[in-house]
Amino acid sequence: MKSIEFFARRIYVRRDESTGDSTMTEEFDCGHALSQAYGALVPVDPVAVHTALERAGVTRLYPDFEDWFFGKVVPGMRSGERCVMTSVIDSVLAGVAICKRTETERKLCTFWVSPHVRGRGVAAELAGEAFDWLGTAKPLFTVPEERYAEFGGLLRSWSFSKPVRYGELYRPNRLEYVFNGGFGGMAH
């Protein structure tokens, strides 16, 4: 396991108990967790996020995931080019969205919701936060062939473009479905 110091500003949410209204004071650019249980936002721990994605099998779908995460995502969070958003329910990591926002690309790089909380609105809320940060409701998004059926409902609700299929984009002998953009001349 890697040890890493994470730099993030905090977000404060104040809830008026009499009306139930919440006001949010944002003091961050990225790196937060949305806790549905408590209505508060807290800084993200990149090691905990990586560990959760590893346990969920997400890291096996992409070669060199660990190098990408700690070599690109975490430094990108410091520079403001990348964002990791998490949903925490009952103190347990329930969902993760990893985003990339540059002059030339708006990409939802990784999107995972725990099977234990699917159907409870976690994906919709997390995607909404990600799309807001990215500044588009139609970011570049890829889905490995093994997970294509799982994403069907979300992809319909997001009204994403028809996918382009790429062979061996990330792994040999595997298809990747790419939405809202492309990767040059590698499409099938």
| pLDDT value of position 37 | 38
What is the rounded distance in angstroms from the CA atom of residue 187 to the CA atom of residue 63? 20
What rounded mean pLDDT belongs to the chain?
81
For Cα atoms 42, 45, 47, give the angle at the middle one, nearest 5 degrees: 165
| pLDDT value of position 179 | 97
What is the rounded distance in angstroms from the CA atom of residue 178 to the CA atom of residue 46? 26
Cβ atoms of 94 and 117 within 8 Å: the answer is: yes
Higher confidence at residue 64 or residue 26? 64
CATH class of residue range 11-137: alpha beta
Closest CA to 32 of 63, 7, 5: 7
Higher confidence at residue 32 or residue 121? 121
- Residues 104-115: tens digit of each pLDDT: 999 999 999 999
Q: Give the start-to-end residue ranges of the domains of the chain.
A: 11-137, 142-188
Cβ atoms of 177 and 161 within 8 Å: the answer is: no
Mean pLDDT across 29-41: 47
Whether residue 25 has pLDDT greater than 60: no
